[in-house]
Amino acid sequence: MKILQIFQAFPFFDRTVDKWATEARLLRWLTFLWLFAGLAVLFSASYPVADIAFKDGMLYFKYQLAWAVIGLLMFNGIVHLPLRFMLKISPIFLFIILGLLYATHIPGLGTTRNAATRWLSVGSSSFLLQPSELIKPFLILQAAQLFGNWNRTHWKTRTFWLVVFLLVLGGILMQPSLSVTALCGITLWLIALGAGLPSLQMFGTAALGTCVALASVTFREYQRRRIMSFLDPWQDQAGDGYQLTQSLMAIGSGGFWGSGFGLSQQKLFLPIQYTDFIFAVFAEEFGLFGGICLLLLVMIYGTIGLSVAYKCKDPVIRLIALGSTSLIVVQSLLNVGVATGVLPTTGLPFPFLSYGGSSTLSCLFIAGLLIRSAREMSAAEVIPIARGKSGNALKTKRQDKLGTRRQFS
C-alpha cells in the first residue's frame, strides 16, 4: 500500500487527468516526452566525459535522473495548487532567491567555473545551486501579477517592483551571464507587451536593454572575442572558435538520418557537450530529421502554450501562461542558435535536455505553471472580487459546475 501511494505521487499516475482541459493534457504528455528524451540524449552526450573524468560513465545521468525525480514531484504539486496561492507566496521566494543571487559574489560562498560565478556550493563542491535558474518561475509569477494589474496598481508599487526586476537582471549580469540576463529581460518584456503597456514605454525599454547589452560587450573582453569568433570561427579553430567549429562539425557529420544513438564521435572533442552544446550531439546522432523533429516539438509546445494564453479570461493567468511559454521556447531557440552558429556562443542550457539540477527544477516548475494555467482556463472563470490599494492582493471566486465550491486540484 505504501509503495502504491509513493507511485501515485508522481504525475503519470494522476487519476484526475481525464477531467483536465485538452491543452493541459497535451502539455503534460509533451513535457514528459521532452524530459525523458532529454535524459536519453544526456546519457549519450555525457557518458564518455564522465567515464574519463570519474571512471563512471553513468555519473551525470544518475545525478540528472535524481533531479528529474525531485522536479517531477514538485511539478505534480504545482499543477494541483491554485495559481492564486502561487501568486501569494511568489514574492517571498523571489526575495529569498534574489538574496542567494547576490550571495554568489561573497568569497567562500560563490563557485566560479569558466570565469563565471553563478553557483552556490551547498555542503560539498559537487552539490551546486544556480540562483539565476531558480529565480525564473518566480520572476514570471511576479511580473504577471504586476503587469496584469498595471492600471490598478499605485505608482509607488509599480516603481518598487520595477526596481526589484532591475536588481534581478543586474545581479545575473554581474556574474556575468549576459545570455541569462537577456533571456529574463526578453521574458519580462514579452509579459509587459502581452499586458498591453504603452508602445512608447515598450520601445524605450527595448532600447535600454540593447544599450546595456552593447555596454556589457564593450567592457568585457571575453564577450568581444566571442562576437568576433562567431563572425568567423574558422579563423581561430584552436582558440576562441573551437567550440563553435566543433559544434558545426558535429551537426554536419549527422547528415540527414544521423550516425545513430550513442555513436557521436564529435562529443569526444566538443567542450561542454552535455550542457550548452548538447543539441550538436543530438543533431549528429539523429541527423537533420531528428533536429527537425525536436524543433517541431518545441514549436508545438509553444503553439499550445500560446493557445492557453489566448483562451485565459483572467489577465494575470494569461500572462503567466505567456511568460512560461515564452521562456521555455525562447531559451530552446537560443540554445539551438548558438549550436548552429546563428548566434554568438553563450552559456544557456537547452530545457529538459542539458545537464543541470537547477535548470531541470526551474523548467519543470515553469511547465507546471503553464499546465496549471491551462487547467484554470477551463475549470473555472476567475473573477477578481477584492484588491488592496497596491493591486497586489489577488482574491478570486470561481463559478463553475460545482457552484461556489472552490477547486484546489
Is the Cβ–Cβ distance between 319 and 143 less than 8 Å? Answer: yes
Looking at residue 3, its pLDDT comes to 47
Question: Which of the four pLDDT bands, split at 50, 70 and 90, describes residue 298?
Answer: very high
Bridge partners of residue 119, in order along the sequence: 111
pLDDT at position 5 over 80:
no
Question: What is this structure's pTM?
Answer: 0.89
Residue 157 has pLDDT above 70, yes or no: yes
Residue 148 is assigned to a structural domain of this protein: yes
pLDDT at 390 over 50: no
Which residue blocks in 104-135 are alpha helix, DSSP H?
A: 131-134
* Lowest-confidence region among 48-57, 118-127, 195-204, 355-364: 118-127
Q: Which residue has the higher pLDDT, 327 or 387?
A: 327
In a domain, 214, yes or no: yes
d(CA 71, CA 397): 30
Q: 34: closest CA among 265, 389, 281, 332? A: 332
Residue 404 lies in a domain: no
Tell me if 73 sits within 8 A of 111, measured CB to CB.
no
Q: Distances in Å between the alpha carbon of 408 and those of 10, 372, 379, 405?
A: 18, 11, 11, 10
DSSP classification of residue 350: P
Q: Is the pLDDT of residue 34 over 50?
A: yes
Write down the pLDDT at residue 9.
57
Low-confidence winner among 136-150, 232-246, 391-405 (lowest mean pLDDT): 391-405
Residue 124 pLDDT > 60, yes or no? Answer: no
The answer to whether residue 406 is domain-embedded is no
- In angstroms, how far is CA 249 from the centroid of its own chain? 27
Indicate if the pLDDT at residue 7 is higher than 70.
no
pLDDT at residue 139 greater than cutoff 90: yes
Q: What is the mean pLDDT of residues 364-374?
A: 97
Q: How many domains does the chain have?
A: 1
Q: What is the per-residue pLDDT for 309?
A: 95
**More confidently predicted of 116 and 146:** 146
Determine, yes or no, domain membership for 407: no
pLDDT of 391 > 50? The answer is: no
Q: What is the mean pLDDT of residues 193-220?
A: 87
From the centroid of its chain, how far is CA 343?
18
Report yes or no on 409 lying in a domain.
Answer: no
Name the pLDDT band for 388 (thresholds 50, 70, 90): very low
**Any domain includes 145:** yes
Per-residue model confidence (pLDDT) at position 385: 33
In the predicted structure, residue 394 carries a pLDDT above the cut 50: no
- Alpha carbon distance 122, 166 (integer Å): 27
Parent domain of 111: 2-399
Contacts of 62 (CB under 8 A, 6+ apart): none
pLDDT band at 258; cut points 50, 70, 90 = very high
pLDDT above 50 (res 303): yes
Across 210-224, average pLDDT: 78
Q: What is the mean pLDDT of the chain?
A: 86
Residue 404 pLDDT class (50, 70, 90 cuts)? very low
Residue 113 pLDDT more than 80?
no
How far is the first Cα of the chain from the last one, in angstroms, to the nearest whole number?
A: 23
pLDDT bin (cut points 50, 70, 90) of residue 58 is very high
Q: Tell me the one-letter amino acid at 150.
A: W
CA-only gyration radius of the chain, Å? 22
Pick the more confident residue, 92 or 342. Answer: 92
DSSP 181: H
| Percent of the chain surpassing pLDDT 70 | 87
pLDDT of residue 123: 62
